[in-house]
Each structure stands twice: as structure tokens, then as C-alpha cells.
A and B are shown apart, each in its own frame.
Chain A
Amino acid sequence: MEAVSVKKWMDNVIKPEEVEKFRKNGKDFINETSIQEKLMANKQPEKQRIREIIAKALELNRLNPDETAALLNCTDEELWQEMYAAGLKIKQKVYGRRIVTFAPLYISNYCVNNCVYCGYRIGNQETTRKRMSMEELAAEIKALISKGHKRLIMVYGEHPQSDVHYIAETLQVAYSTKEGNGEIRRANVNAAPLAIDDYKILRDVGIGTFQVFQETYHRPTYQRLHPSGLKADYAWRLYSLHRAMEAGVDDVGIGALFGLYDWKYDVMGLLMHTIDLEERFGGVGPHTISFPRLQPAVNTPFVEEDPYLVRDDIFKKLVTVIRLSVPYTGMILTARENAAIRNDVINVGCTQIDAGSNIGIGGYSEETLDYNRQQFILGDNRSLDEAIRDMAKLGYITSFCTAGYRCGRTGNYFMEIAQKGKVHNLCMPNAILTFKEYLLDYASDETRNEAEFLIEQELAALPSEQVRKSVSEMLNRIENGARDLFL
């Protein structure tokens, strides 16, 4: 594609009026001074106050910015232990002992942006550029299905070659590709911010969640790290999910890339983002929150010199504070982190992980690991089967459930039942059913032997006799060949 047409395309992407309409009196919901003041004002929280805040979170109430700031400033290790325990309690209260699992699928790495920390940046000459054809995509999806995956997050660089029409076409391929007993039942998207009419195109083809991460909410840092391209526009990105919600995409995912700026500030940013979405859209905030940590990338020296890199112990703390701050929202812990970190941090309240991940474009069908085609370097290279077995050892049942969005359990209905801690009444039965499918169709003998006990254990733990009976009947039907059964 010639440079002139790329420039012409870029000139038409950003619509300033679709930023302005979401501002309050012309002001953004991120107020840098206010965040810094709250962090300062809650610098030395007392023990009793921290415990009251933990108690509030345990009641599944979202925290306010002062409360989150107090938790972030806690220096008492004994209290942190209490917070870790509370994170796990909240997770089990809202979601039960299950972990939703998905695969990332990188589709195109052409990009007009120049994010200094990213391997896909336009200025990185060492990255091998590729955009999958629909045939290549179908082969990738078949490879993923054959491993047992049912949920995807499809990832695209920002470029006219991967515009909204291309994304919509790839979603249709994802949903229509079958392999054996399997298929992709939920395709989420991580892509650049779109205009409202473009979101409607993705809505109409049945998108799952649309994710846009702000990377950092600290505007001066954001401007420095995103010097050119469409992503240089902070506000266009800040309101991207407001536009998605307005367009009717009612599952959206926010996130920050930890390591770009002060971690406390960016946790506050995620909370402010949640609050603004909830206030604007009738109580419906983000469906998920992601908290990736900056990782090395090919020919990307920025990472080695970065003063804000987050240590492992701090990472666990920031995940815990997010869990307590927004108790009812899904939290995604990705394979950027190594297996040991994931096995530890998952216990403070994470609800979703990716597994068996390959972030090289075309990597699943080719079964290759090519750093030159990756945005960054993965920390956890366990196969899906190994990850599921490890989760089972930790007592977690892996869920491939996709029933909610197919049954009208979205938007403020979903939020209300999540906030009441009732989601797991449906989600745990569906986790059991999808896990059974996985064990029958895809698991290794070792995993089947080590993980099958979870079916009986979780079935017995279901609170309703009626549900237990229904799930037992469905399990028998799955044994006899039925698939995709859910409550």
C-alpha cells in the first residue's frame, strides 16, 4: 500500500466530535492533579481504615478513588497478606473456583504507530510484517480448535490493511470455521480505537469483547511514548470504549501496560476509567480489566532503560488492589508472565488466562516460535494441556464457557448479577460442562487422569439439587456425543 493512501486513510480515522461528546464540561475523566492529590492525601493509611476498605470490597462494593489510593499506599506486610486473602475470597464469591481460558491470535502486525516500547512500531525495521489471508486465518483457527480452544482474543495492528472491514471479515471466518467437534464460540478483539459507526460493523458480526488498553493514563508520559501515528492522540484512545458502548458493543475491556509510568497512578487511572463508564452507561463498566507488564521485544532498547519496570512483588500488589477496587469485574492475567508468577498471582483474584499462546503471526499452524514476528516475548510457554493440568493442581477448573453473551446475559443485566455475586450460579455449571468436553476431546491422558476429579468435586459443590441434576444429565449427554450444552 502506498504511503499516500496510508496518509489519506489516517486523515479520516479520528473524529474529534466523538471525543468531545463524552467529556464533562470539556474535561477528561482523567485529572492528573486530582489523582496525584488523592495518592498524597492517603499516604499513610491507618490499619483500621485499610481493614474497613477490605471489608467494603468483600461486600462486592466498588471502591472510591480515596479508598484505592489508601490501599496502594499501604506498607504493612501483614495487611497485604489480608488483602491477598480478600482478593481470593472475592474471586471465589463472584466467580467460583474456575478460570476462563482463551488464546491470543495475532492477525496482522502492520502498524502506523510508533510506540517506543513495542516490537510492532513502524520504526522497527527488524520486525517481519505480515497480514494473514482468510485462508491462513482459517488454518490458524483450525490449529487452535484442535487444541481445544473455544475463545479467542484477536489482535491487530493499526493500519488500513487491517481496518474495520478486514477485522469484521476475520471475525466471520473465526465463527464459521469448524474442526472435528470444535469451533470458536466467542471471538474478542484487541484493536485500535474506532469510530462509532465502525464499532457497529463489529457489533453486527457478533463480536465478543472489544479491548483497548490506554497503556498509561499519565498524559505527559503517554505523549512521550507515542510520538507519532494515530495513537499519539491520547483522548481518541481514552474514549474509545465509550464509543464502543454507545455503538452497542456492551462488553468492553480496559487495561494499562504496567511499567510505562508509576504503577499506583495507572491503577488509579483504571479505576477512574471504570467509574466513568459506569456513570455514563447505566452502571455498566468494563467487562474485563487487563494489567499486562512491559516485556522485552526484538530491537526495542526502551525496555532495558525503563525506570518504571514493575517488580514481581509489586505486580502482585497492584493486581490485588485492582481486584479489591472493582470486585465484580473479570481480570485477565496473560502469558506475558511466567508460569511461576501466574500460579501465584492467579490466587489474588484473576478470572481469565490465556494458555498455549503463540503470539507470532501464523505461529499456531506452523508450530513455530519466531521472535521477529512477535510484539513482545512471552513468559509462559506452557501448552494449553499443561496449563490446564497445573490449574487443576491449584484446584481451579478451566472454563471454556461462552454461554453468557449467547443468552442475553450482557450489559447491565450481567453487571447486576455479577455485583450480587450470583454469576457463578450459572458459570460454574457451564464450566463443568465445557471442561468435560475438553477432557473428552482434547486432553492428554495425564491431564485427564489428574484433572477429572474436578468434575465430581465441583458438581457436588453446586448449591442447588435441581442444577446438580440438570448438569448430571447434560454430562451424560456429552459422554454420548452431545456438545455445546449450557445453562
Chain B
Amino acid sequence: MKNLQINYAFWCEQHPQSPAEEHIAFFHQELLQLYPGLLLRWAKIFGSRWAYFYGNSREVALNTVKTTLKPEYGICIDNPDMLGTIELERLVIKLKECFINVPVF
């Protein structure tokens, strides 16, 4: 988890001018390496609409955790029990810190 910000900074150096979607794909892969089996859906936020655009969840989840990472992006975690409350909170804080630098589409 500590490495998420460092890895992201390094990735940004290697991939300047990358579109927003590639930033999201980076975080997606990082999270899956940290938590194999985590089910994620990334969304662009337009008013009330959370428009799904990337993820690995293909199932209907009943206890999804939905978090706004910045006004334009959100993440839905469909199996949050896998993380536990404390780990989930830590992850969301880290992601929000990183997402300050994610470009808006």
C-alpha cells in the first residue's frame, strides 16, 4: 500500500501525457496485485450518473462500496469484505491522494 503513491509517481514519469483511462488502468492493476481477487468497477461521474468504464467485476454484488475519488471519478468495490473496514479506509485515503493527479477526461 505504501508503494502505491511511489509507483504512481514513477509511472507518471514514464507515461507523460497519458490519457485518463491509462491512469485508471494503472491503478486497477496495482490494486489487483495488492489484493488479488478484488472486484472493481471504475466510473466517470456526471451529476448523478456513475458511468462504468473499466473493471473486472462481472457479478451482481449486494454490498458494494461506492466511493468518490475526485469529482470526476469514482470506484465501486463489489467485494469489500475481502479487505475489512480498516484496510478499506486506508485504501480509499491513498487512492484519493493519488487521484489528485489523475487528469480529467
By a beta-carbon cutoff of 8 Å, the part of chain A in contact with chain B is: 175, 185-186, 203-208, 248, 250, 405-414, 416-417, 422-423, 425-426, 464, 466-467, 470, 487
Contacts and interface: CB of A to CB of B under 8 A. Distances in A.
Contact of A408 (B58, B60, B66): B66
15 contacts: A185-B48, A203-B49, A204-B47, A206-B47, A207-B46, A207-B49, A406-B50, A408-B41, A408-B42, A408-B43, A408-B50, A408-B66, A417-B58, A467-B62, A470-B62
B28 interface: no
Interface of B: 41-44, 46-53, 55, 57-60, 62, 64, 66, 74, 76, 105
Contacts of B43: 408, 410
Contacts of B57: 413
A411 B58 contact: no
A416 B41 CA distance: 13
A464 B59 CA distance: 15
Contact of B64 (A204, A407, A414, A466): A407
A426 B53 CA distance: 20
Given A408-B51, A413-B57, A416-B58, A203 B46 contact: yes
A206 B48 contact: yes
Given A426-B60, A464-B62, A204 B46 contact: yes
Contact of B41 (A208, A413, A487): A413
Contact of B46 (A186, A206, A426, A464): A206
For the complex of A and B, the 8 pairs showing the least CB-CB separation, nearest first, are A206-B47, A408-B43, A408-B50, A413-B52, A411-B52, A408-B52, A425-B60, A206-B48
Contacts, number: 77
A208 B49 CA distance: 7
A388 B44 CA distance: 35
Contacts of A423: 60
Contacts of A425: 60, 62
Given A407-B76, A422-B59, A412 B52 contact: yes
A23 to B, nearest CB: 25
B4 to A, nearest CB: 22
Contact of B50 (A407, A412, A417): A407
B55 to A, nearest CB: 7
B60 A206 contact: no
Contacts of A250: 51-52
A422 B53 CA distance: 19
B50 A410 contact: yes
Contacts of A186: 48
Contacts of B53: 411
B17 to A, nearest CB: 21
Contacts of A464: 62
A93 to B, nearest CB: 14
A382 to B, nearest CB: 29
Contacts of B48: 175, 185-186, 206, 405-406
A261 B56 CA distance: 44
Contacts of A405: 48-51
A407 B75 CA distance: 9
B47 A408 contact: no
A279 B11 CA distance: 33
Given A250-B51, A408-B51, A411-B51, 8 more contacts: A175-B48, A248-B44, A248-B51, A407-B50, A408-B66, A410-B52, A413-B55, A416-B58
